[in-house]
Amino acid sequence: MRILVIEDEPLLGAAVQERVQHAGHTVDWFTTLEDARAALAAVQYECLVLDLGLPDGSGRTLLREIRQTSSPLSILITTAEDQISDRIAGLSDGADDYLAKPYDLDELIARIAAVGRRYRPLIDNRLVVGESEIDLERKRLTRNGEIIDLTAREWTLVELLARRPGAICSRQKIEEALYNLEEEVGSNTVEVFVSRVRKKLGADVIRTVRGRGYYLQQPQTA
């Protein structure tokens, strides 16, 4: 998933970014509402991890703004405001989950996965494509019954295409999924990752539509 983290505590923000990246997600981390709005305007995120007490206002304001739109963004609040009334207020404003500080980073990863599942397209979690099986729930790829090792970014590419098999995914969308805003993306980066994944899944699994992007061939449900 492409995840936006808004957290103004430097040590916590850095720890969250590192742990979420380690879990295989692409992460942008900012500390203010102003930066959050700019990031949301520039990138299509799937999940927002939102602190409420920010230097330039309450994260609850941003939460309300997002829920007044048709955005399917999943939102997880993290805050030191842990009274029952605070939780009820956050959930009433449209948050999908609420995690009180201090929290365990592994629990945060589990909560992100849980809220993310609510917004995924209704597809089977296991897809058979050619000689390969893609297990979206376990984040596992097998080919001819053998588990194939993928890097975090290779899996991100596979998952992105597998969520909508047969649908064309643009180069820009793939770049956004693979890299955060602070990283520089090379001109042939997408082609390199597609080539790597094709070697592991099979040459015909990912198809190219010249000038438009890539798609995963229609699978048989496992």
Judged by average pLDDT, the poorest of 55-69, 121-135, 161-175 is 121-135
Give me the mean pLDDT over the 138-161 stretch: 88
Domains of the chain: 2-119 (3.40.50.2300), 126-216 (1.10.10.10)
Residue 219 has pLDDT above 90, yes or no: no
Confidence band (pLDDT; 50, 70, 90) for 122? very low
Structure tokens at 62: 């941003």
Output the pLDDT for position 19.
94
Give me the mean pLDDT over the 90-96 stretch: 85
Confidence band (pLDDT; 50, 70, 90) for 70? confident
Give me the mean pLDDT over the 200-205 stretch: 85
Give me the mean pLDDT over the 183-191 stretch: 81
Alpha-helix runs per DSSP H in 43-149: 59-67, 84-92, 105-118
**Separation of alpha carbons 138 and 149, rounded Å:** 13
Confidence band (pLDDT; 50, 70, 90) for 220? low
Q: Give the Å distances, CA to CA, from 122 to 41, 158, 164.
A: 26, 17, 10
Judged by average pLDDT, the poorest of 26-30, 145-149, 182-186, 214-218 is 182-186
Confidence band (pLDDT; 50, 70, 90) for 204? confident
Structure tokens at 21: 């990246």
Dihedral class, residue 166 (left if φ above 0, else alpha if ψ from -120 to 50, else beta): left
Report the share of the chain in percent with pLDDT over 70: 94
- pLDDT higher at 121 or 142: 142
**Residue appearing with tokens 């992100």:** 112
Q: 0.75 cut: is pTM over it?
A: no
Structure tokens at 188: 């042939």
Output the pLDDT for position 119.
60
